[in-house]
Amino acid sequence: MSNFLAIATVTATLCRMLQAGMINDVTGAGATSVRPNATDSGTPTTGVNVYLYQVTPNASLRGWDLPTRSSGGELVQRPLVALDLHYLLTFYGEESELLPQRLLGSAVKALHAQPVLTRKMIEQTIQETAYLEKSNLADAIESIKFTPIPLSLEELSKLWSIFFQTAYRLSIAYLGTVVMIESEDSPQKALPVRDRNVYVMPFRQPVIERIVSKDGEEKPIFSDSTILIHGKKLRGDITKVRIGGIDIQPLSGNIRDTHISMQLPPGLHAGILGVQVFHQIMMGTPPVPHKGVESAIVPFVLYPSITDNIDVTEYPEDGQDLTIKLKPTLGKKQRVALMMNPLPGNEGISYYFTAVSRNEDSDSITIRVSNVEPGDYLVRVQVDGAQSPLIVDTNPASPTFNQYTGPKVTIP
């Protein structure tokens, strides 16, 4: 690979090669590498001018050094750019003696017979050119090869139009490929691999079929409930459960291939929550858990529950404030609504009130109610669509047997 002097070295070597070939065919012919503007700009009276008018990335080697940096931005290997060089060869001389055409023939002959810059040619150029003494192009793996570029008359006209107030001269374009320039940055080498670990494991993706309360399939699930996760292939080397974004590792004795029994973790909020079973694999030296297969997410409803008597604060001209203690804790962004219904056997109106937004999580909520007829009402709280249950009288001797009896509030 070459350093930043590679392009200049190619141009200088090409000039030397052309001059060496033409001087045997045309006495006094020279070679320059300046911008082909006017005759007093350094172009030869008799000879060829080599002008690099365009540089393009090499199509086949473009990006072959990637990735050069790790995800953390550290250099992992030296950046390398592969370039193609586009040259315009312009010929000068006495037109009446057809010198430009003779020089063109000599140059084409030389490049067709020797289209490659050899290592010896490059070394000689570096030795004779002081400003190229640090060039290392001669050590490059890829040799520089030249091929003619078949420019149309229109393309050639556009190319010459960039040279201000310069008359067209007999010229031909050549492509030099490929020049590979490497950065001098030194990447940090990682330690050699000491041990190799290869793991072959069967594909056992866990499947969740349903989630129920341990108290019964028809029972609601509360924050202190024990749940049963039924499914297939649930047990793995390391089995974990993700509920509402919280990862839990159930006790090994509670994990079976067809079901998992576990207590709900603290920190959950009422509403519709997702459950996912995932397996981890021990790999590495020393072994550490790695991500394995995981099930699809299956939802269940975590119901809120009213945990204490409801406090009523009276505002004679603006209704009442009902303060209700709930479990689990309410999230500050959760939608909360209050539903009030008359007790069974009582005539009355049902009411629905929504809670105002809150600034923090809390285990209680205060909701303003207004224009409510005095009396006793059954109370339910709805949190993100999940409603707190009502209490049913299960005493056969009670006059309210098998009826809803609470939670309730009295509106004075």
Residues 37/169, Cβ–Cβ less than 8 Å = no
- Count CB neighbours of 297 within 10 A: 12
- Cβ-based neighbour number of residue 148 at 10 Å: 14
271 closest CA partner among 310, 240, 245: 245
Per-residue pLDDT of the chain (412 residues; tens, 9 = 90+): 789 999 999 999 999 999 998 988 898 899 999 988 755 667 888 999 999 999 999 998 888 778 877 777 777 788 889 999 999 999 999 999 999 999 999 999 999 999 999 999 999 999 999 999 999 999 988 899 999 999 999 998 888 888 877 788 899 999 999 999 988 887 777 788 878 888 887 788 999 999 999 999 999 999 999 999 999 999 998 999 999 999 999 999 999 999 999 999 999 999 999 999 999 998 888 889 999 999 999 999 999 999 989 999 998 788 899 999 999 999 999 999 999 999 988 888 999 999 998 999 999 999 999 999 999 999 999 999 999 999 999 999 999 999 999 999 999 8
pTM tops 0.85? no
What CA–CA distance (Å, rounded) separates 307 from 355? Answer: 18
What H or E segment, with its residue span, contains residue 127?
helix 119-128
For residue 337, the model assigns a pLDDT of: 96
Helix (H) or strand (E) holding 381: strand 375-383
Predicted local distance difference test score (pLDDT) of residue 27: 87
Alpha-carbon distance 10 to 157, whole Å? 26
Measure the CA–CA gap between 224 and 261, rounded to whole angstroms: 13
Measured CA to CA, the distance from residue 325 to residue 92 in angstroms comes to 99
Which candidate, 40, 43, 50, places its Cα nearest to that of 15? 50
- Give pLDDT, residue 62: 85
| Cα 294 to Cα 116, 183, 254, 382, distances in angstroms | 59, 44, 19, 32
**Ordered DSSP codes for 64-119:** TT---B-TTS-B-S--EEEEEEEEEEEEES-GGGTHHHHHHHHHHHHHHH--EE-H
**In which element (H, E) is residue 14 found?**
helix 6-22
Kindly report the number of other CB atoms within 10 A of residue 93's CB atom.
23
Domain architecture of the chain: domains with CATH = 6-182 (no CATH), 207-302 (2.60.40), 305-411 (2.60.40)
Reported in sequence order, the residue ranges of 200-335 that DSSP labels E, i.e. its strands, are 207-213, 226-232, 238-243, 246-248, 259-263, 271-283, 288-294, 298-302, 305-306, 311-315, 319-330
Q: Which pLDDT does position 40 carry in this prediction? A: 60
pLDDT of residue 303: 97
- The answer to whether the beta carbons of residues 294 and 276 sit under 8 Å apart is yes
Q: Is the dihedral of CA 235, 236, 240, 243 positive or negative?
A: negative
Which pair of structure tokens corresponds to residue 382?
């709805």
**d(C-alpha 305, C-alpha 380), whole Å:** 9
For residue 160, what pLDDT is reported?
Answer: 86
Q: How far apart are CA 6 and CA 174, in angstroms?
A: 17
- Contact indicator for 364, 323 with CB cutoff of 8 Å: yes
Q: Is the dihedral of CA 81, 86, 133, 142 positive or negative?
A: positive
Which residues, other chains included, contact 131 with Cβ-Cβ below 8 Å and sequence gap of 6+?
A: 8
